[in-house]
Structure 1
Amino acid sequence: MIIALSFLAVLAIAFFDVASKETIVSFQLQEFELGQISDRTITSSKNIGPTIEHPITVEKNEKIIKKGFPITEEGYEKLQKLAASPTYIDYRAFANALIFYLLLAALAIFLFSSKLCGKKMDTKEQVFLAILFVLVQLITVIASKMAFFDTSFALPILIPASLSVMLLTVLFGQQNAIFFVFLLAFSVLFITNFDPIPAFFLVASSITAIRIVRRIEKRIDMIFASVLLGIFNAIFLLCIKIIFNNPQTFSLSIIFGNVFNGFVSGILALGLLTPLESLLNTASVFRLMDLSDLNNPVMKKMLIVAPGTYNHSMMVASLAESACHEIGANALLARVGAYYHDLGKIEQPEYFVENQMGNNKHEELNPRLSVSVIRRHVKKGLEKATQLRLPKEVLAIIEEHHGNSLISYFYAEAKKQDPQVSAEEFSYIGTPPQSKESAVVMLADTVEAACRTLDKPSVSRLEKFIKQLVMTKVELGQLDNSGLTFKELSSIQRAFVTILAGYYHSRIEYPNQKDPDEEETGEVKNEKGTKDSDKKNIKHKTQNANSVLIKKSKKDVKEK
């Protein structure tokens, strides 16, 4: 539907272009000269009466010029009258435009297909692309009819191609922007009667704009990108002039005009991005940077209400960001998704192990009721994220970070009561990850929680344990649609080990450091510290306490 509407809009612009051009049977009037031997016969399709500018009459079916005969003065005047007449429409030229834009539409469908893009485009993205294309098309047609801008080097001054691709790159990514550039280049090539200079300059300038802004993380950097693009535009213009050796006028005003186009494109993009980010609700780099600010009210509330969940989310974010850097995925998106992935736990934080202070609420509940509480945090998180108008990519991470995996601890508890219990009743009601970033957050969430139960987490033990956790997810089919390869999974595991090895590093015991669990006896200690018998008792108590804590921690992670 969107493609059809944009196609009709482009045809309307093409009709205006054809109707306002001085063409006869799809040929430019400039191609005919007085006294030239004609290589075609041109016949009038209608009667055209005399006017002040052309006081001659053209009759229907009259042969204006004949193939193989020289063009007379009268024949040339009639050609001029045909080209200038508002009642004459060169339908052959319009048919050429119709065929050309049909082929261009087919190319657009192919380029923006889910197989080539790797994802299905949203309606809002399709609408935005269509609007940009139609606007660029309209401005190019109008500019080509202006006296100053109808030359090959002056026309690019008014074409907002760089502005368009800057917006697309920041809002939707560089891949779609690159495809859009080639569609624009073909369109401009057709509008300029296949003059290669404007199209060539458009491709060079637009690709440069994409490469400049694709790594920008701060809004202020758009100013520097604008200056840089203006400089590159001047360089490209000079290079194209040398390569094509075009005899057209080439002045300083044209150079400054193209430099100004590059500079203004960046400034306008900076001004338009904020309203467009809000309107389209996209996961642009600037929007994600804003969401990664931990001083926002939601994250502050999580820190106060669910401090364990907050710290868990911070650790998951560090793991996910590091892993995404290793595999070339969107690390910023993964970090923001990790911050908000357990947003639903703010509602009932006391039912989640990381927020419990000794009293486990689930000991008083039936396993089925416990599972319903645990599963609900995903739904609640989605609801809160939707209210906050978080981008759909972040919503997907919240929804998919548990997939449809089994909540094994409560399933085992329920089987003790009823051996016939269904595993589906104790599984998350979600979708396995559909993107690399979502899959990385799932793995980071699992690894962070499980590694807390690991006794003496050395590097070798972490490597084995993390590999076991990751391969379990693979065997359960949770990563089938994520697009991750086994090579990338190995890189993810190494990134996790590096972060966790630093987190769980050992510490030396400081001199005169006392065990907080040790009871003061009031006995006078000698200069060497406690007596040997007291040391043995303290060591025994500490070992027992550690044993109890490890067992409880394992049970808690299963609940999570």
Structure 2
Amino acid sequence: MDAANGDTIAEKISKRNDDGDAFGIVRPVIVFLKRNWARFVLAFATFAAVSAVVYFGANRGESVVSYSAGELEVGQIAFETIVAPKTMRATEMYPIEIIEGEKIVKKGFPVTEEALLKLRKLSDSPTQVDYRSIGNVVFFLILVCALWIVLFSPVILGKRAEMRELVLECVLFFLTFFFMTFSARAIAFQSPFRIVPVIPSVLALLLVAILFGQKSAFLYSVVLAAGVLGAGGFEVVPALFTFATGLSSARIVRKIEKRIDIVFASLLQSALGIVFVIVFKVIFNDKFSDIAFVLAGVVLNSFISGILVLGLLTPLENLMNTASVFRLMDLSDTANSPVLRKLLINASGTYNHSMMVSQLAENACREIGANHFLARVAAFYHDIGKLDQPEYFTENQSNGENKHDSISPSMSASIIKSHVKKGVEMARKMHLPSQVIDIIAEHHGNSVIAYFYAKAKEIDPSVSETDFSYPGTPPVTKESAVVMLADTAEAACRSLDKPSVSRIEKFIQTLIDAKVAGHQLEKCGLTFGELSLIKESFVQVLAGHYHSRTKYPNQKDPDEGDGKEEKEEGSAQVSGGNEPEQG
């Protein structure tokens, strides 16, 4: 018994456990909110902005009654049904009564003189807000937000959506909703088909597909189509057209490699837009009287979208620091890259190693359907951190002298693993895309520098493995994992004696198995089937690189004869001290 407060020890322990359980439930929530607070702010701001558009502008004869009767004529076919939002008694100016809920004009029927008079009376009356209709759209937007969260979750998207991607998508969603809502107020666009040319879906989906990838564009087309459905008074045709153009736009830009190709992609999208309109006209049994207006609008929309994408792309690439296909193509120009030219001059071994790794990574990514442009560029720059001390890396030691012979294993390990941190710092100063920087940081994961760890163990068996491990994290994308495997395979195979196809294949399999056993590939999403394809790709490239060559007649070894002993001595020096880790 505690004399101070009368609690027993068991009661105090029980209270502590209860408090711990409560904190254990709350703590994950707090951590989640801290990690995603910016996303919640973005979601709330977007929802508030779109809701404001719904309140002030969503007027299709149901939400806000403020008609311009001068735009209608007696006998004109109505594009929509207009329902009276309130009861209005007859006056001297308008000697006609309006009853709340009556259909003043019916869609598809001609406007009568009486209906036109009632519309003029409504037009001159104070604006009436139908909160129920607005509430329907706002509630639908909540469902769209939930759909957005699900589609862009790591489970479906395959990665954690970047904040900059979400910002761009929210801006494009707002603009699309805004244009759709206020364009519907004009008489010329009050038909489900006539509103189609106003929807900037091609512009939005082209930008998302080029900047963030085809999968993001596919998923975003669903979200954007749902938004158009809500903005268009729940008309199905505009939403289906948005979804169809979204899918086709994302697919069209999949293989373009030059910026000017965007113009040709927009022309192709124009042709597909024409097909979509005609197909939907047939499916929904709509009249073809306005087909010329709709098709001309669709073609103009697609072409202008292509021109706008061409103009907006470079500023957005720089502002968001994304790895778009065009920016990656620019970074692939090794001849005009100052850092790669410096690497060629000061660390030629590392430069050649990087070129070979890029070839391996690019071919392997093509085989498994990953982003081969990203893998190639990341491989070019993955070892730029070695520029600081190139002489400490094996591939740059051509004179037989090994710097590591004169320093301790721990110091050697510190120098070897520092090139990852220095590479990341250089990449940030160069403003390389974040995806490339991530691969530079992950290309060794947190694996152990086995050679120097073993040497240190011989001196002091109590040394920590952590001190000889790279400071990075294991790859979280397929491209990053492929670059890691390509880096390991290229470095290791150069030390392989008699590199026949079978020996290379077995050796690469051993290297891959070691990475799997070392838990380096657990978060990257690669399957065993894809690892098999990667291995086959590596074998094909490396076997071609290390294939045996026919000896020419009377060809002599320049080191034969008097220099033979010197050659053997030099070889012994090189093989005796080189550090096999290539970084």
Task: State the TM-score bracket (shorter-chain normalisation).
Answer: 0.7 to 0.9
Give the structure 2 partner of residue 337 of structure 1. Answer: 378
- Give the SS at the match of 1:148: helix
State the shift of 1:235 in Å. 2.1
Are 2:572 and 1:548 aligned? yes
Cα gap change, 1:491/1:545 in structure 2, threshold over 3 Å: closer, same or farther?
A: farther
- Whichever residue aligns with residue 22 of structure 1, its letter is G
Q: Does 1:349 align with 2:394?
A: no
Change (3 A) 1:336 1:86: farther
Q: Aligned to 2:409, which of 363, 367, 380?
A: 367
Whether 1:447 and 2:471 are equivalent positions in the alignment is: no
User: Where in structure 2 are the equivalents of 1:380-459 lying within 5 Å?
Assistant: 380-459=422-501
Give deviations 1:180-233, integer Å, cap 9, x for gaps. 222222222233333222222222222211111122111121121121111222
Identify if the C-alpha distance between structure 1 residues 351 and 431 changes in structure 2 by more than 3 Å, giving closer, same or farther.
same
CA contact (8 A) 1:21 1:83 kept: no
Structure 1 counterpart of 2:395, one-letter code: E
Residues 449 and 470 in structure 2, CA contact (< 8 A), matched pair in contact too: yes
Query: How far apart in 2 are the matches of 1:387 and 1:24?
Result: 53
Contact kept, 8 Å, 2:367 with 2:533, in 1: the verdict is yes
Task: From 106, 119, 123, give the equivalent of 2:159.
Answer: 119
Paired residue for 1:17, among 34, 45, 57? 57
Partners of 1:490 and 1:15 lie apart in 2 by 56
| Secondary structure in 1 matching 2:579 | helix
* Percent identity over paired residues: 49
Question: 1:511 aligned to 553, 571, 574, which one?
Answer: 553
Unpaired segments ≥5 residues, structure 1: 31-40, 68-72, 521-536
CA deviation string 1:2-42 (max 9, x = no partner): 11110001100100234x4433799x999xxxxxxxxxx98
Distance in structure 2 (CA, Å) of the matches to 1:497 and 1:75: 79
Does the alignment pair 1:138 with 2:178? yes
Letter aligned with residue 147 of structure 1:
I
Question: Which amino acid is 1:311 matched to?
Answer: N
Determine which of 224, 230, 252 is the counterpart of 1:212.
252
Does the residue aligned with 2:185 lie in a helix, a strand or coil?
coil
Deviations 1:403-446 (A, max 9, x none): 11111111122122211111111111110111111111111111
Which is higher, the Rg of structure 1 or of structure 2?
A: 1
Q: Which runs of 4+ in 1 moved over 6 A?
A: 47-52, 55-58, 73-80
Q: How many residues align?
A: 520
- 458-467 vs 254-263, which deviates more? 254-263
Query: For the residues of structure 2 that align with 1:162 and 1:118, how far apart are their CA atoms?
Result: 24
Distance 1:259 1:65, change over 3 A: closer
What TM-score results when the alignment is normalised by the length of structure 2? 0.83
Deviation string 1:97-123 (CA, Å, 9 cap, x unpaired) is 121111111111111112211111121
Query: Deviation of residue 93 (structure 1)?
Result: 0.9
> Which of residues 339, 350, 363 is equivalent to 1:298?
339
Letter in 1 for 2:205: V
The alpha-carbon distance between structure 1 residues 339 and 48, as it changes in their structure 2 partners (threshold 3 A), is: farther
Considering only aligned residues, what root-mean-square deviation do their CA atoms show, in Å? 3.0
Give yes or no for contact 2:229–2:238 (8 Å, CA) kept in 1: yes
Aligned CA distance change for structure 1 residues 102 and 551 (closer, same or farther; 3 Å) = same
Deviation at 1:179, TM superposition (A): 2.0
Conserved in 2, the CA contact under 8 Å of 1:65 and 1:75?
no
Q: Please report the TM-score for the alignment, with normalisation by the length of structure 1.
A: 0.86
* Residue identity in the other structure for 2:348: P
Q: 1 CA distance for matches of 2:351 and 2:429?
A: 20
Offset, 1:164: 0.5
| Structure 1 residue corresponding to 2:315, chosen from 275, 288, 304 | 275
Q: Deviations over 1:352-397 (max 9, x none)?
A: 1111122111111111111111111000000000011111111111
Residue 534 of structure 1 is matched in structure 2 by none
- Of 74-83 and 267-276, more deviation after overlay is shown by 74-83
Alpha carbons 1:24, 1:79 under 8 Å: kept? no
Taking the aligned partners of 2:170 and 2:180, their CA distance within structure 1 comes to: 15
Partner of 2:220: 180
Q: Which moved more, 1:490-499 or 1:242-251?
A: 242-251
In 1: Cα distance, 2:529 partner to 2:207 partner: 34
For 1:167 and 1:558, locate their aligned partners in 2 and report how far apart those are by CA, in whole Å: 41
* 350-359 or 244-253: bigger deviation: 244-253
SS state at 1:283 partner: coil
CA contact (8 A) 2:355 2:379 kept: yes
Aligned to 2:540: 498
Query: What aligned pairs does 1:29-48 form with structure 2 within 5 A after superposition?
Result: 44=86
CA 1:414–1:49 in structure 2 vs 1: closer, same or farther (change >3 Å)?
A: farther
Distance 1:144 1:299, change over 3 A: same
Q: How far off is 1:237 after superposition? A: 1.8
> Quick one: which of 341, 353, 358 aligns to 1:317?
358
Unaligned 5+ segments in structure 2 are 1-40, 73-82, 104-112
